[in-house]
Chains A and B, each alone.
Chain A
Amino acid sequence: MTPEEQIWQALDDVKDPEIPKVSIVDLGMITEVRVDGGNAFVTMTPTFAGCPAIHVLKESIAERINQLEGINHTEVKVSFEVPWNSNRISDRGKELLRESGFAPPPVHEGYIELTVISQAACPFCGSNNTVMQTPFGPTLCRSIHYCNHCLQAFEQFKPVA
């Protein structure tokens, strides 16, 4: 494994602080990994500009990578150069979101309308007979929906263009 591959693998241990099954790699938040001698450089793109987890994620990334053999120092940069959008979440990430009780975001074509946001399959019973209750949920990245089939409220990881 190259040092870069080792870092990508290690980054899979850094999870979303609120959805502990899903890693920041699954969410598509890592846009660049580079190693120069004993120095590692990682670039992260935030899911939302106002996400309060950015600071703690930066620290967790550096802490995890510094444990790797041959790495003395890790620099984590937050950049909007590659803007995050919900299509960046991997298939495995979507599956893990579902297992954690969240509907994954529908794939979009760069443009979000109410019709796109409202489509959510219930993560509990799989039914498409659901309604969106509000596009603003307990965190910036989640909306609240209700399943008419199994009569459960659930959250969706929001589609963002």
Chain B
Amino acid sequence: MEALSSLHKEAIREFLYKMADDQLILGHRNSEWTGLGPLLEEDIAFSSMAQDKLGHALALYTILHEHLGEKDPDTIAFTRNERELRCCHLVEYPIGGYDFSLTRHFLFDTAEHLRFEMLAGSAFEPLAQVARKIKGEIKYHVLHAQTWMKQLGSATEESKARMQSALNETMPLALGIFEASPFEAELAEHNIFAGEHELRNRWLEVIAPTVADAGLVLPDIDALTPAYGGRQGYHTEYLQPLLTEMTEVFRIDPTVEW
């Protein structure tokens, strides 16, 4: 591959970090359902998706390490402080009730599936290769989410009301996924990624029919204030406690061989 210019490099670095950090943090959140899922199958589903997400974070951190000179994946994942992380607020929130976790899973994984479909054709070949793999795996997450949105959106009055209220609550957070980076034009110009705005539009087209099929009502997007800040390192109060817990064992002895 041709040598990357420094601006070009900075744009890709920022882009990879935000995607990988989303996977890492939501992977950890998903794993909090292990042992607590409302049904055995759901316990296994969230645990499997947690494992997939950590695998996706690892694949993206590996690109940062091998192609952009960043430290090794474990160091990147476990030694950066809160301000250095670029995840969106949506993934930081505690698991809450199953209504919130399922709604977050539906909104986030639909966006990620579309994101990696777009990236499968990226001009940055190492990312395109990983994207072609990841999109096939996330397809399972999307199918799982759609099944449950429809199931609970049409089950009982209580399930309907809870899913609608979860959707209303989660939507501004989900819009934060698409916070623009300072490098949107750079990435689009080099055919690396068509942009967060484009992704957001495709996402709205895909979620709308599932929400309607589920008998739920999509909130008025234009009236919402997206939860921005995560991509610039400004996070919710929930991220630091998660990082503290996640790195607790690692920090006992960062040099230990596992």
Contacts and interface: CB of A to CB of B under 8 A. Distances in A.
Interface stretch (B45-53, B87-95, B163-171): B45-53
A135 interface: yes
Contacts of A140: 48, 51-52, 55, 137
B226 to A, nearest CB: 29
Contact of B140 (A49, A135, A144): A135
A84 B48 CA distance: 18
Contact of B132 (A51, A80, A133, A137): A80
A83 interface: yes
Nearest to A86: B136
Contacts of B25: none
A36 interface: no
Nearest to B53: A50
Interface string A75-113: 000011101110000000000000000000000000011
A49 B58 contact: yes
Contacts of A158: 140
B45 A50 contact: no
B13 interface: no
A136 B143 contact: no
A46 to B, nearest CB: 8
B134 A49 contact: yes
Given A80-B129, A80-B133, A161-B136, A136 B56 contact: no
Interface string B25-63: 000000000000000010011011101111110110000
A85 B133 CA distance: 8
A102 B67 CA distance: 39
Nearest to A160: B136
Contact of A83 (B41, B49, B129, B147): B129
B149 to A, nearest CB: 14
Contacts of B134: 49
Interface residues of B, number: 26
B136 A83 contact: yes
B143 A114 contact: yes
Contacts of B41: 133-134, 136, 144
Contacts of A114: 143, 147
Interface residues of A, number: 27
Nearest to B47: A136
B200 interface: no
Nearest to A117: B143
Given A134-B41, A134-B44, A136-B144, A49 B52 contact: yes
A45 to B, nearest CB: 8
Interface string B85-117: 000000000000000000000000000000000
Contacts of A85: 136
Interface string A118-161: 00000000000000011111101000100000000000001011
A50 B73 CA distance: 14
Nearest to B39: A134
A136 B58 CA distance: 21
27 contacts: A46-B133, A48-B137, A49-B52, A49-B59, A50-B51, A50-B52, A50-B53, A50-B55, A81-B129, A83-B133, A83-B136, A84-B133, A85-B136, A112-B140, A117-B140, A133-B41, A135-B140, A135-B143, A136-B41, A136-B44, A136-B140, A136-B144, A138-B44, A140-B48, A140-B51, A140-B55, A140-B137
Given A83-B132, A112-B136, A158-B140, 14 more contacts: A49-B56, A50-B51, A52-B51, A80-B132, A83-B133, A113-B143, A117-B143, A135-B45, A136-B47, A137-B48, A140-B52, A140-B137, A144-B41, A160-B136
